[in-house]
Amino acid sequence: MAKESGRKLIASNKKARHDYLIEDTVEAGLVLTGTEVKSLRMGRATLVDGFATDYNGELWLEGVHIPEYTQGNWTNHTARRRRKLLLHRHEIDKMLAKAGQQGHTIVPLSLYFKDGRAKVEIALAKGKKTHDKRQTLRERQDQREVAKAMSAHLRQHG
């Protein structure tokens, strides 16, 4: 079988970009069991409640839901178990130092296969206040209205 190449998206966390202000992103590998990889290859995972924590100086991904593999047997994995993130020491130290600041956390943005290996894009993020979320929605709405007005104008005078 030929080794796959390129990037195949499994899941993305759109809610994270709405709830947080993304400051820094990094790609990390994941330590997975066989049934987890098979379940991911079927394109099933949820990142919405995911976050990364420090455990003995290492980063661990928690709250990410990878459903049990349907053809799995007694060796099947637990859906919401803690999974180790594979990063270089300097990347871990940098993320943990910034995540220790007030209001900062580490959240997963997307989960994908890159050249046959499962990768997760994690981000250092700062929680948005409710008024910030409303401001973001208002800006997006304004941009939509401008685009609609421009296209209507072009249709009339085009």
Domain-located, residue 2:
no
Please indicate, yes or no, if residue 30 is contained in any of the structural domains.
Answer: yes
At a CB cut-off of 8 Å and minimum separation 6, what does 56 contact? none
| 62 pLDDT higher than 80 | yes
Look up residue 84 and give its DSSP letter: E
Same domain, 17 and 68: yes
Do residues 119 and 137 both lie within one domain? no
| Radius of gyration of the chain measured on its C-alpha atoms | 19
Residues 77 and 115 in one domain: yes
Assess contact for 136 and 44: CB atoms under 8 A: no
Both tokens of residue 42? 């079927």
Domain assignment present for residue 58? The answer is: yes
Answering whether pTM is above 0.75, one says no
- Do 30 and 102 share a domain, yes or no? yes
Task: For residues 86 and 145, state if they share a domain.
Answer: no
In this structure, the answer to whether residues 51 and 61 fall within a common structural domain is: yes
115 and 70, same structural domain?
Answer: yes
Query: Which of 106, 119, 140, 93 has the alpha carbon at shortest distance from 20?
Result: 106
Total domains present in the chain: 2
- Of 158, 24, 45, whose CA–CA distance to 87 is shortest? 24
Q: What is the CATH number of the domain that holds 45?
A: 2.40.280.10
Please, which pLDDT band fits residue 2 given cuts at 50, 70 and 90?
very low
For residues 104 and 137, membership in a common domain is answered with no
Q: What are phi and psi of 67, to 5 degrees?
A: -60, 155
Identify whether residues 140 and 94 lie together within a single domain.
no
Residue 57 gets the label, from left (phi > 0), alpha (psi -120 to 50) or beta, of left
Are residue 117 and residue 44 in the same domain, yes or no?
Answer: yes
Q: Do 126 and 34 touch, CB atoms closer than 8 A?
A: no
Residues 72 and 141 in one domain: no
Mind listing the pLDDT tens digit for each residue in 93-141?
888 888 877 778 888 888 888 888 888 898 888 877 766 677 777 888 8
Examine residue 120 and state whether it is found in any structural domain, yes or no. Answer: yes
Range of 139's domain?
Answer: 129-158
Please state the rounded mean pLDDT for residues 45-51: 83
Q: Which pLDDT belongs to residue 1?
A: 43
What span, in angstroms and rounded, lies between the C-alpha atoms of 93 and 87? 10
Res 20: pLDDT: 81
